[in-house]
Amino acid sequence: MTSGGPKFAAPESYTPKHLAEKILTSKSALEGERKQVTVLFCDIVDSTRLAERLDPETMHELMDRILRLMAEAVHRYEGTVNQFLGDGLMALFGAPLAVEEHALRAVQAALAIQETIGGLSEEQRAKRGIEIRLRVGLNTGVVVVGRIGDDLRMDYTAIGETTHLAARLQASAEPGSILAGDATHRLVEGYVRSESLGRVALKGFGEPVAAHRIVGRRRRTRLQVSEERGLSPLVGRERELALLREAFDRAVQGRGQVVGIVGEAGAGKSRLLHEFRRSLEAERVTYLMGACVAYARSIPYSPIVDVLRLNFHIEDGDNALQMDEKVRRGALSLDPTLESTLPFFRELLSGRAEETLKALDARGKRQKMFEAIRALTVAGSVRAPLVLVVEDLHWIDETSEDYLAFLVDSLPGLRVLLVTTQRPGHAVRWSDRTYYRQIALDVLGEADTATLIRGVLGAEALPEGLVRRVHERAEGNPFFVEEIVRSMVERGTLTPATGGVRWTMEPSVAFPETALEIVRARIDRLEEPVKRTAQVAAVIGREFGERLLAQVVDTAALLQDYLQTLKQAEFVRETRFFPELEYIFKHAIIQDVAYQSILARRRAELHSAIGRAIEHLYADRLAEHYDVLAHHFSHGDDRRKAVEYLVRAGDKAVMAGAAR
């Protein structure tokens, strides 16, 4: 941020109300947390010169409008404006609440800010002869987020080198441009158009750092990005693919079907659909797809618009005249009687209010809109069987979900197969229909994991221990398997060898950022006391007993309710009921993420508290727990007990060896 320019009042209080409430009701936010975030800095170029040319009141109104437009773009992509800084702002994506694809959201927000203020600049150039230009900087990494200051002046902010680099990139950006650090660019490069600037010298950094200029969007799904780098073979999904083909065959016969593909993030829902689509290449079929996204849950018809754009072959950059003609030609070629529906499609696709629809009240307009979209669907299915895919239904907006329920009631008798994908826990409103079928994607076995690894590496011969290590870490999740293996290649842990690959350094299996952010977002969506329960359990270990956990958590009285919530959300499952109730985290990555989110100081306190609780609960058979006690006190703040139990655990191991 420029420090010498004029300072203007922020359009909200220093800490926005919704954020202040979140902080004050969240122990995690008050104490601080470690989070992986993308930080955005944005400011106005030459705001001092603008202030010199404008009346103070006019300048104040203009700055208020600019800052509001910036903030709206940030909020649209579920970011948080945590500070207004004079002639700009600082925003966080991934805090206080973690979100999936935080880097991509930040880039989308940055582009939206530049585009919106670009439009405002054109308006002001015509009105006052002035130009408004911005600089934006982005960077991704681990920060400590939390409250700083006291109750009279409280900031919620991110502290660390990640934040510092984002600010320096913004200061170095050319007017009107967006600069992103290398960590951000790696996460978004398949989804944006960018230019590498090489390594640039930045104030405060001893060595030049890699920087990239973001210049535009590429309309890509995660699967399309994966296709560009080469898809691995579909493994272990033969039965599920056969079920989809069976549903399609029924739809072709005029017996409309609905299929819901259910699986955790990374289970391979999109990959299965890709293979299903490939299997239809020889068929005469129309295949249309729309996707729900987390940041569009408040936008009506979001996935339906995707479907319509595909159906009418509307591309980015089409002007209003092109769009109108494509809609007219596409609809009337199916059925001339669809002419009365054209105003509804034009309004949906352009966002412009149609004069002919203004006489309708909201309820009547919505009903007519539903009927228009259904009429197009019916007409299309008469010409050729129609496969309609809606991905990530767990993020669907309410209006689109209402429309799908409306369409499902009409499916019997139509040549339409509706396929949705969703994560566990999302209940569909048509699950009681006889023509609905759910396909649940299970994890891969070790043999299928081995096949997938060979496909990713393009090698038959694998080094000893690779399959076992990756399978244990990914626990059969196909996406995690692929990302872990690719990460090992990128880090140089694996390297090509004659006929296969080999280890080049000490084998280590770490979760890459793409996998971690999915789990962070799931954990942060938990209610605060449930989340803290998961964090304390993670400090105990991958497996934990309810009795021990109750000794350490703040809210033992409600512990069973919190554990039930974690179980229903499939974070944990029971492993033993007698003599004590014990649980295990369903995936190692869940425990890892929950553990790493806790500040080091707090982790040490919890380790020591757990050690003392074990001493209390199992005083009559302490020898059974020497190694566990050594672990907790070694990671805690009681060095004397750490040494004591390390010695006892060592003596116990020696005695056990001598007894053999």
In contact, 380 and 334? CB cutoff 8 Å: yes
pLDDT band at 23; cut points 50, 70, 90: low
Q: How many CB atoms sit inside 10 A of residue 642's CB?
A: 21
**Is 255 among the domain residues?**
yes
Decide which of 373 and 7 is more confident: 373
- Residue range of the domain that includes 115: 17-222
**Is 543 among the domain residues?**
yes
CA distance 602 to 596: 11
**Is 503 among the domain residues?**
no
In contact, 170 and 179? CB cutoff 8 Å: yes
Q: How many CB atoms sit inside 10 A of residue 613's CB?
A: 18
CATH code, domain with 134: 3.30.70.1230
Convert the pLDDT of each residue in 635-656 to its tens digit.
998 889 989 988 988 877 777 6
Reading the block at residue 317, the tokens are 């950059």
pLDDT of residue 190: 85
Decide which of 443 and 225 is more confident: 443
Same domain assignment for residues 622 and 474: no
Reading the block at residue 80, the tokens are 């948080």
pLDDT of residue 14: 41
- DSSP-assigned beta bridge partners for residue 259: 419, 437
pLDDT of residue 29: 61
**Is 260 among the domain residues?**
yes
Same domain assignment for residues 527 and 620: yes
**Is 3 among the domain residues?**
no
Question: How many domains does the chain fold into?
Answer: 4
CA distance 475 to 639: 35
pLDDT band at 184; cut points 50, 70, 90: very high
CA distance 184 to 189: 8
H/E stretch holding 497 = strand 494-497
**Is 227 among the domain residues?**
no
Predicted structure pTM score = 0.78
Same domain assignment for residues 211 and 273: no
CATH code, domain with 549: 1.10.10.10
